[in-house]
Amino acid sequence: MEKTPYDMAMAQLDKCAEIIKLDPNMHEILKYPKRVLCVYVPVMMDNGKVKVFKGFRSQHNDALGPFKGGVRFHPNVTMEEVMALSIWMTWKCAVASIPLGGGKGGIVCDPKSMSLGELERLSRGYFAAIRHIVGPQLDIPAPDVNSSPREMAWFLDEYNKYLGYNAPGVVTGKPVEIGGSEGRGEATGRGLSFVAREAAKKLGIEFKKASVVVQGFGNVGYYSAKFMEEFGCKIIGLSDSKGGIFNPAGLSVEKVMKYKQNTGGVQDFPGATNVTNEELLELKCDILIPAALENQITEKNANKIKARLVLEGANGPTTPKADNILYEMGIMVVPDILANAGGVSTSYFEWVQNLQNYYWPYEEVVQKLDKLMVKAFNNVYDAYTRYKVEMRMAAYICAVERVTKAMKLRGWC
């Protein structure tokens, strides 16, 4: 029987608990969300018929602060998936040392088959249904799979109708014009580049001359490649869902992006060799960034990875068995909950600005993100050397220790 995301989250927690000898009572509390709400949202469709959609909001742990996490629109959303994602958000916020807990939401729908009007009515209906458990001091949703600043604007407006006044801090990832933060759109890739710089120092990689391969050329992949290039790295491989390209002399990220926008893909880029996504992962390079889908590096191809450093731009691109193989090979894997935490960290900055009603210039956001990501990496690296475990487990150790300390101080256990 295939393991669910919730099974995986439990296995990770169990392993971490064993290593740090976690209090069994704390362990038991952390296994479950504090609250999971299931709602049914009636929506008037364009054909005049009402269709009822199922939605969820899972709130895992708020020992460090209000719940935080995105809302995804996808036909395969399940309650167990949302529960697992809320647990992972608890760890991601804790690794980044931001005063927020883990939450996650989802709506079972196929947004690609819906009109703009249907999507807006569904978004507003969902937020109206969960309005009593969200708020700037309770739970702060954000964009996720198939959601964007557009949906956050609808969420915000619906919540403000309920309150009767403007409360921009109820969601993050909003358009800048209505309380969003400068630098939020690029934040995940920007944060990853800061972590890459720090990890390279530890491994003795000359970062300004490092060769980099990026799988995935969406938001995270594009900005990761762009900022690594600005640091002086040489981007030698890039790919999207249709395939990849390779040029040992280096690729211009902006030129490849313009080419993709004009042609619909990166393959056949002038001067580059076409490769498959599988071949791309196995290219010899200093730094590999899987920023596409989950389960890309598995036990079948892990021993073919030739990078010295892997940074997970995507969520879950490396399987547990592959993790062990790469660790034995001496390849450092910086896990998703650290490598791509720049997004939630800048969401935290947005929330802080909303509460203050005072907004920071772009340069200040970047400077604060740099400082936060460096601190997070160093904390995880210290646990990595202290416990002699792979970086993923080191990140979980940092997160669980931080959350359980807050729980103990609050007298939860």
For the cut 70, the answer to whether the pLDDT of residue 1 exceeds it is no
Whole-number pLDDT of residue 136 = 96
In the 8-state DSSP scheme, what is residue 133?
Answer: G
Question: The tokens of 12 are what?
Answer: 């990770």
- Model confidence at 297, pLDDT cuts 50, 70, 90, reads confident
Q: What is the dihedral of CA 191, 395, 317, 38, to 10 degrees?
A: -90
% of residues, the chain, pLDDT over 70: 99
The residue annotated as part of the active site, out of 68, 92, 104, 226, is: 104
Round to whole Å and give the CA distance between 89 and 341: 10
Q: Is 104 a catalytic residue?
A: yes
Q: How far is CA 304 from CA 199, 257, 284, in A?
A: 21, 28, 10
**Helix 5-20 and helix 391-410: axis angle, to 10°?**
80
> What pLDDT was estimated at residue 178?
96
In terms of phi and psi (left: phi > 0; alpha: psi -120 to 50; beta: otherwise), the region of 129 is alpha
Is residue 240 a contact partner of residue 253, using CB atoms and an 8 Å limit? no
What distance in Å separates the CA atoms of residue 181 and residue 284, rounded to the nearest whole number? 37
Q: What is the mean pLDDT of residues 276-281?
A: 89
Nearest to 336 by CA among 5, 3, 4: 5
Residue 294 reports pLDDT greater than 90: no
Residue type for 181, please? S
- Other residues' Cβ atoms within 10 Å of the Cβ of residue 295: 12
Read off the pLDDT of each residue in 347-354 and give the average, rounded to a whole number.
97
- The ranges assigned to domains in the chain are 5-166, 189-339
pLDDT band, residue 317 (cuts 50/70/90): confident
CA distances from 143 to 149, 312, 380 (A): 7, 19, 26
Express each pLDDT in 392-406 by its tens digit.
999 999 999 999 999
For residue 193, pLDDT beyond 70: yes
pLDDT tens sequence across 220-271:
899 999 999 999 999 999 999 889 999 999 999 999 999 999 998 889 999 8
Task: Supply the pLDDT for residue 163.
Answer: 94
Q: Are the C-beta atoms of 289 and 214 separated by less than 8 Å?
A: yes
| Predicted TM-score of the model (pTM) | 0.92
Give the class (CATH, top level) of 189-339: alpha beta
According to the model, what pLDDT value does residue 2 have? 61
Whole-number average pLDDT of the chain: 94
Question: Residue 5 has which token pair?
Answer: 């995301």
Give the residue-averaged pLDDT of 118-130.
Answer: 98
Kindly give the pairing relationship between strand 273-275 and strand 211-215.
Answer: unpaired
- Amino acid identity at 230: E
Residue owning tokens 């609808």: 154
Distance CA 194, CA 326 (A): 22
pLDDT at residue 293 is higher than 90: no
What's the fold here for domain 5-166?
A: Rossmann fold (3.40.50)
> Is the pLDDT reported for residue 173 higher than 90?
yes
Give yes or no on whether 5-166 and 189-339 have one common fold. Answer: yes
How many other C-beta atoms can be found within 10 angstroms of the C-beta atom of residue 185? 19
* pLDDT at position 371: 97
